[in-house]
Amino acid sequence: MNRDFLAPLVPLYRAAFAAKNVVYDRTWRTPDRLSWPVVSVGNLSVGGSGKTPLVIRLAQLLSAAGVHVDVLSRGYGRTSSDVARVNSAGSAELFGDEPLLISQKTGVPVYVGASRYAAGLQAEREFSGTGVHLLDDGFQHRKLARDFDIVVVHASDFEQQLLPAGRLREPLSSLRRASAIVLRSEDAALEEKIRQRGIRSPVWLQHRRLLVEAQSPAVAFCGIAHDQDFYSALKTNGVELTATRSFRDHHRYADFDIDTIVHLCQTTGAKVCVTTEKDLVRLSPEHRAKIASVVHLEAARLEVSLTDEPAVVRQLLALHVRK
């Protein structure tokens, strides 16, 4: 949707956000600090940039290194704001789609709550030793102190305006606060644009691989921020798409949506219906069964890795030792 008509409001948003950052930068307000080190994974824009797959990978790396790690998340889209530990067998309505997916894929404790500080306190109470908190979508959540700020940047961020006219929550200059900036490997050339802005934070490259067993022809659907990235990746993997259907990020699927997807499968000759893992956790058992009664339903798996993972682990382990 074109939101250029909202451009006159951008200076007001910029001023409000700058004032908030000044409050914390000049320590006029002290953020809440947990006992364990906090590693934040965030971004600059509204919607997906690849934070969740990176949180999953970092949790896997730290766990493999013998560190107790948990994830703290707001739990966007859940029906409650209270602090809760995610049950991997639960629903996206109770815990949010991303926390539920993180729990299912990593097995580490995941805590959700409007107050990430309260969630962290509960995590520390439930484990007798020490560990590391991964703060999901934490770059703008400055109420909670962090020891390391990882910011995932999407190529489209360089073309966006600030809210409300665009999707940027903060200007690109805010990357100066980052401890590390993550770019997709295919976007490595964007590092030069970052350096041209006087930003010296180290850049980590993220390699992404979509694993899909779907046979062509297929219908694809998703409710994520960058839907075309998903469809392009499917085509790169040799999947012939007969139709696609996109929904808003974090979309809560209704019966009508499922009827639409089933109709597409029936009328386009599709043998498979493929979606993302994040969308799959938002489908009720009844919705999954309805699609599966017509065609095979599959969730394509996204795996990510970083260029020099041993160095990343050493850097994060140093935080654990210092604390």
Domain boundaries, the chain: 4-208+305-322, 209-303
Residues 99-109 have a mean pLDDT of: 98
Four-point Cα dihedral 166, 226, 132, 307, nearest 10: -110
Residues 13-36 have a mean pLDDT of: 82
Residues 88-101 have a mean pLDDT of: 96
| Total-model pTM | 0.92
Annotated binding-site residue? 198: no
209-303: what fold?
Rossmann fold (3.40.50)
Annotated binding-site residue? 51: yes
Annotated binding-site residue? 52: yes
Q: Which residues contact 17 (CB under 8 A, 6 or more apart)?
A: 162, 169, 170
Whether residue 323 is predicted with pLDDT greater than 70 in this model: the reply is no
Residues 128-133 have a mean pLDDT of: 95
In our burial notation (b when 16+ CB lie closer than 10 A, e otherwise), range 92-131 reads bebbbbbbbbbbbbbebbbbbbebbbebbbbbbeeeeeeb
Annotated binding-site residue? 49: yes
* Cα 20–chain centre separation: 23
What pLDDT score was predicted for residue 146? 97
Annotated binding-site residue? 73: no
What pLDDT score was predicted for residue 23? 81
CA–CA dist 75, 84 (Å, integer): 10
Position of tokens 């007001």?
12
What pLDDT score was predicted for residue 164? 84
What pLDDT score was predicted for residue 18? 74
Question: Sorting pLDDT into bands at 50, 70 and 90, what band is 322?
Answer: low
Question: Sorting pLDDT into bands at 50, 70 and 90, what band is 13?
Answer: low
Annotated binding-site residue? 45: yes
Annotated binding-site residue? 153: no
CA–CA dist 122, 124 (Å, integer): 5
Whether residue 1 is predicted with pLDDT greater than 70 in this model: the reply is no
Residues 34-92: pLDDT tens digits? Answer: 999 999 999 999 877 789 999 999 999 999 999 999 999 999 989 889 999 999 999 99
CA–CA dist 54, 39 (Å, integer): 12
- Say yes or no: do domains 4-208+305-322 and 209-303 share a fold: yes
What pLDDT score was predicted for residue 2? 60
Q: Interior CA angle at 12 toward 157 and 116, to 5°?
A: 65
Please report the sign of the dihedral spanned by the C-alpha atoms of residue 62, residue 66, residue 72, residue 78.
positive
Q: What is the dotted CATH code of the domain comprising 4-208+305-322?
A: 3.40.50.300
